[in-house]
Amino acid sequence: MIRWALKYIPRPWLIRMSALVRVLGPVLYAGSRFTDPIDGRSYRKFLPYGYGGRLRENALSPGTNSLERHRLLYLYLQRYTEFFTAPLSVLHIAPEQCFHQRFKAQPNLQVLTADIESPLADMHFDLHQIPLEDNRFDVIFCNHVLEHVTDDAQCLRELYRVMKPGGWGIFQVPWVPGIQVTDEDPSITDPAERERRFLQYDHVRLYGEDYPDRLAAAGFTVEKVELYKTLPQAEVERYRLPSDEPLYVCRKGL
């Protein structure tokens, strides 16, 4: 059922329908085995999630709809940055449900959300041409977007342009350990072939170990953060974090 919904229900409707899961989930799955660090609630199980026969058990938190990568990012922001305390202007591309209202409610943050179609977004635009001024944002999030766009180099240049000097951002992409070179072929339009080659029917590339080189080519200084190597294994298991996914923190020089 979950696999069918992910494939056939349009993304804006999935976003709207997931509100029901966030209301009922904490009641139906209450327990103590797993904890979501984003809302602090514990559950006897998380929900399965995945595409193309790669359904992951205990992946999606019922209360926030967070996935493993969201919980990893949240812990990084909470423990290793001043994101929740310093006054910051934030551009949040494709805002995740688990973060959207929480970030908006932070008194220290001025958050602008944007997407090409999401009902959560304040603005709707194509990432290839961001209709905003240069050097505007202290922090930019653009997670699991670049694998969908036609020209990721152009999109990265735009993200660099609107970031303030001294600013930073995190642009997560689907991560498969061991792939050395990014695989992309714009001539592939068949959804089944895209799913086979790039993991999902609407992806146009699968990034490899050369991903930070692409970030650097846009002008960013890139820091590879392997948080899973520093966290206690008990936390990795309890929070259901990815055990081998790095975060690439992109910074724009002064």
Structurally, the chain folds into a number of domains equal to 2
Question: What is the span of the domain harbouring residue 46?
Answer: 2-60
Whether 199 and 165 share a structural domain: yes
Q: Which helix (H) or strand (E) holds 3?
A: helix 2-8
Rounded percentage of the chain residues whose pLDDT exceeds 70:
88
- pLDDT tens, 77-98? 999 999 999 999 999 999 999 9
Task: Indicate the angle between helix axes 68-80 and 97-105, nearest 10 degrees.
Answer: 30
Indicate whether 96 and 167 sit together in one domain.
yes
**Residue 144: what residue type?**
H
Are residue 98 and residue 46 in the same domain, yes or no?
Answer: no
For the chain, give the mean pLDDT.
Answer: 90
What is the per-residue pLDDT for 17?
56
Indicate the DSSP class of residue 2.
H
Task: Among 15, 34, 60, identify where a domain stops.
Answer: 60
**Which of 60, 86, 102 lies at the terminal end of a domain, its last residue?**
60
Which token pair is 92?
């949040």
In this structure, are 83 and 207 located in the same domain? yes
Is residue 100 helix, strand or coil? helix
User: What's the pLDDT score for residue 66?
Assistant: 95
Tell me what percent of the residues of the chain surpass a pLDDT of 90: 75
Residues 168 and 237 in one domain: yes
Does one domain contain both 136 and 168? yes
Asked if residue 14 and residue 118 are part of one domain, the reply reads no
pLDDT at 4: 47
pLDDT at 55: 81
We report the CATH number of the domain holding residue 144 as: 3.40.50.150
Banded model confidence at residue 163, pLDDT cuts 50, 70, 90: very high
What average pLDDT does this structure show over 105-129? 96
Does residue 22 carry a pLDDT above 60?
no
If you write DSSP's letter for every residue of 143-209 in order, what string do you get? -S-TTTSS-HHHHHHHHHHHEEEEEEEE------TT--S-EE-TT---HHHHHHHHSSTT--EE--T
Query: Both 157 and 178 in a single domain?
Result: yes
DSSP H helix total and E strand total for the chain: 8, 13
pLDDT at 1 over 50: no
- pLDDT at 30 (0 to 100): 72
Same domain, yes or no, for 99 and 51?
no
Same-domain status, 76 and 53:
no
Amino acid 176: pLDDT: 86
pLDDT at 212 over 70: yes
Give pTM, 2 decimals.
0.88
Whether residues 116 and 170 share a domain: the answer is yes
- pLDDT tens, position by position, 27-70: 567 778 999 999 999 999 999 887 766 788 999 999 999 999 99
For 139, the token pair is 């922090």
Same domain, 51 and 177: no
Amino acid type, 234: A
pLDDT score of 2 more than 60? no
Which of 115, 87, 85, 88 lies closest to 100 in space, CA to CA? Answer: 115
